[in-house]
Structure 1
Amino acid sequence: MEKIPITDSNFKIVYDNGSTVDMARDLSVLVRSFVPGAPSPNIYYEKIEGTNGSIRTGKDFGIRSIKAECRLFAEDTDDFFLLRNKIVAALYKKPQFYIITESEPYKRWKVEVSSSFDVDRIGTTGDFNIQFDCADGFAESLGTTLDPFTFDADRWLLGEGLTDTVPSYTHKTASFSIYNAGDIPVDPIEMPLIIAYKGGSSNLAITNQTTGDVWKYSGTTSSGDTIVLNRVRSTKNNISIFGNTNRKLITLAPGWNHFKLSGTSGSFEVSFNFRFYYAS
């Protein structure tokens, strides 16, 4: 059988254990299109009796639907049913998995198949459509900010919010800036964000001057101690210090976020580890 064309829409499935399945290369499937639907906004209103209209109280985005149009190519009848079974086995998994397309190899979608499908057989070929749901509602960068920002790292692509000026995510000064190359704010309630402070301090405060977020710790650290803000948890040397903080969180706006630390003592290092998130 001739080699299956690798279209821009071709994708590979990446499971939690690191194993992958490529639709064209492994399953002889031509992916004709891969189309993420537009974000689905949920807007919330409150009606106050005796007043006109309603008050807008909030907005968020729901599940994203992604549709892939595919064609299976088999060598003969036996191969057709073998490939069909392999496709079903690859897609119908209980855990969610990631999809990475040929056109955007440095971005991934966390998805699961949301409906059944039938392969419309014509001889040794068969057409079928796959409906995916992305519960997060957005794509994320393949790399994290503590991965090397080099081309041979196979993690980044210029144009996805990045330029040839390499941002730094580890700093040793009290004033610095952190760049969020995505178009989605990073909120540790919803997505991974790890901030690590190594060094001495007294009443340490971390302020994002761009968003106005301030995190404070009413304690001390020595030069060998490490404070970690891992999503909503705060620890010192792996022991919770949440009760000794102001119980606030640090978020990151898209673009540059300007930070200021206070309460530092002597030499220190602070690092930010997160992914970039995209609406499309």
Structure 2
Amino acid sequence: MSVSNPELYLKIGDQDEFNIEDKVQGLTFLGDDSTPALANTYQEISGIDGSKLQYTTFSRYQVVANFCLFFRDWQDYKLAKHQFYRLFTSRQQIRMRTDVESAIVRFVYPNLPEIKPDQNGSHYATFSMSFDNPSGFRYSLYRSDGTYSNDDDGVQFGMNLHNNEDQYNYHFTTKLFKVFNASDIPLDPWKYKSDLRIIVKFSGNSLKLTNTTTNTEWAYNKPSNGQDTIILDGIFTTLNGNPASANSDYGTISLATEWNNFTVDGADSVDITFSFPFVYI
């Protein structure tokens, strides 16, 4: 039974995504590995033994990708080596994913490796390349309001979606609804700067949105006829693309892991969309 080689897909800045083996002749991707990192901050108190934990944060870590470069002669080696290095000179953020985790991505920055033949006279070079992952997290390929399906393009193992994604909805027109956060961690734009956008259209004199699971709420205190697009983007509110936090109570919404129960008060009718990436350690 044959086993196919793993594949590495990169998207540099706004460029199209590509398979790295298509860009460098003779290059084979051998796989990647990484370990999440935690940073604990302590307070030292004079006259008291030990230390008091203040907080724990996820830290940046490195993703190590392994490669083997095959070449026929020294000219091929020099050309392929240049092709490889040239891929990473744009100084832009890179979106990384593999065929093993095709629906989960990391946003990384490269550290160029040394590439040289394994020994004098050999026609191959094995090497490892480290990518910095400054966020400390992995993310779903699509946002919650994107299109999910049963193929590997949208849902895969390890995404906490249990292969029943039809039950997960992120667009609501009722005043009572539930939002599923498939992330490994809670999402909190105020505390953790989490990426969470709530797009709202409503008719009525005002609107109050409450997550009864996390006891967080946000209110828009001006009337709307249902045509305006009001967005709570993290901790900031906009009205039709213009700053409008002054029209709100300056509240914010957080999401616990898994199910979150919501209520809407004050509006006559609502159209609400939750847009966020699922976040994984």
Residue 137 of structure 1 pairs with residue 148 of structure 2: no
Residue 121 of structure 1 pairs with residue 117 of structure 2: yes
Question: Per the alignment, in what secondary structure is the counterpart of residue 143 of structure 2?
Answer: coil
**Residues 15-26 of structure 1: pairs in structure 2 closer than 5 A:** 15-26=12-23
Q: Which residue of 1 aligns with 2:277?
A: 275
Residue 30 of structure 1 pairs with residue 32 of structure 2: no
Letter in 2 for 1:34: D
1:175-212 C-alpha deviation (Å, 9 max, x unpaired): 11111112022233534321011121333111111211
Q: Which 10-residue stretch deviates more, 11-20 or 147-156?
A: 147-156
Q: Which residue of 2 aligns with 1:150?
A: 149
CA contact (8 A) 2:103 2:141 kept: yes
| Cα distance in structure 2, aligned partners of 1:271 and 1:264 | 16
Q: Which 10-residue stretch deviates more, 72-81 or 172-181?
A: 72-81
Cα 1:50/1:246, change in 2 over 3 Å: farther
Match of 1:218 among 221, 224, 227: 221
Q: Which 10-residue stretch deviates more, 98-107 or 20-29?
A: 20-29
Q: Which 10-residue stretch deviates more, 102-111 or 180-189?
A: 180-189
TM-score by length of 2: 0.88
Q: Which runs of 5+ in 2 are unaligned?
A: none
Cα 1:154/1:182, change in 2 over 3 Å: same
Cα 1:173/1:22, change in 2 over 3 Å: same
Letter in 2 for 1:271: T
What displacement does 1:248 show?
Answer: 2.3
Letter in 2 for 1:138: F
**Residues 1-280 of structure 1: pairs in structure 2 closer than 5 A:** 6-8=4-6, 10-27=7-24, 28-37=26-35, 39-114=36-111, 116-122=112-118, 123-151=122-150, 154-157=153-156, 159-162=158-161, 163-166=163-166, 167-188=168-189, 190-265=193-268, 267-279=269-281
CA contact (8 A) 1:7 1:102 kept: no
CA contact (8 A) 2:102 2:152 kept: no
CA contact (8 A) 2:103 2:152 kept: no
Letter in 1 for 2:31: S
What displacement does 1:52 show?
Answer: 4.2
Question: Per the alignment, in what secondary structure is the counterpart of residue 67 of structure 2?
Answer: strand
CA-based RMSD: 2.1
Question: Per the alignment, in what secondary structure is the counterpart of residue 24 of structure 1?
Answer: helix
Q: Which runs of 5+ in 1 are unaligned?
A: none
CA contact (8 A) 1:68 1:130 kept: yes
What displacement does 1:6 show?
Answer: 4.8
| Cα distance in structure 2, aligned partners of 1:257 and 1:71 | 46
CA contact (8 A) 1:6 1:30 kept: no
TM-score by length of 1: 0.88
Question: Per the alignment, in what secondary structure is the counterpart of residue 83 of structure 1?
Answer: helix
What displacement does 1:159 show?
Answer: 4.6
Letter in 1 for 2:209: I
What displacement does 1:26 show?
Answer: 3.1
| Cα distance in structure 1, aligned partners of 2:182 and 2:29 | 29
Count of residue correspondences: 271
Question: Per the alignment, in what secondary structure is the counterpart of residue 149 of structure 1?
Answer: coil
Cα 1:18/1:151, change in 2 over 3 Å: farther
Letter in 1 for 2:164: D
Cα 1:250/1:268, change in 2 over 3 Å: same
CA contact (8 A) 1:158 1:164 kept: no
CA contact (8 A) 2:67 2:126 kept: yes
CA contact (8 A) 1:215 1:245 kept: yes
CA contact (8 A) 2:203 2:267 kept: yes
Letter in 1 for 2:101: E
What displacement does 1:56 show?
Answer: 2.3
